[in-house]
Amino acid sequence: INKAVVLYDTMWKSTATLAKLIGEGLIEGGVTDVRFLSMSEVHRSDVVTELLEAGALVVGSPTMNNNILPSIADIMTYLKGLKPRNLLGAAFGSFGWSGEAPKQLHAMLEEMGLDMPAEPLRVNYVPNEAEQAAAREFGLGLAAALKERLTQ
């Protein structure tokens, strides 16, 4: 299914900025339906509804106290229990000091059995011009992986 769900939460807008840029890359790469879901604005059941007809789940969280944000931990625990199938997965996030959240999300998505075509995208503080370009490229790469999956 040529649809991607970009699920995220943010503390200081950097992870939200990354979500938008990744989504732009997905769209530029040919993904016809990209849904941006901020956990500060949607309920977990909305996420599940969107995922029912998605080919990719891209999850982002800033690092807070060496972990993912509680809102993202909540939805990831919920999704893990539902055992989603046939999804491409990817993780991203911003951080100030240590930057564990994207790696933790990547591991969670892998544990859920999602196909993971890319290493997590990690950005220190506010994304600069090069990091913004890298986020778009990350989205383009995911779009290519999804397209390849759809033609198999």
pLDDT of residue 140: 98
Q: Rounded to the nearest 5 degrees, what angle is found at the Cα of 20, between the Cα atoms of 19 and 26? A: 90
- Residue 148 CA to residue 74 CA, distance in Å, equals 31
- Residue 22 CA to residue 40 CA, distance in Å, equals 19
Residue 58 φ/ψ, nearest 5 degrees: -115, 120
User: Which tens digits make up the pLDDT trace of 27-53?
Assistant: 999 999 999 999 999 999 999 999 999
Nearest to 61 by CA among 37, 84, 82, 29: 37
Amino acid of residue 38:
S
For residue 13 the two structure tokens come to: 């807008």
Cβ distance 142 to 132 under 8 Å? no
Q: What is the mean pLDDT of the chain?
A: 97
For residue 44 the two structure tokens come to: 């977990």
Rounded to two decimals, the pTM is 0.97
For residue 145 the two structure tokens come to: 């992986």
pLDDT of residue 8: 98
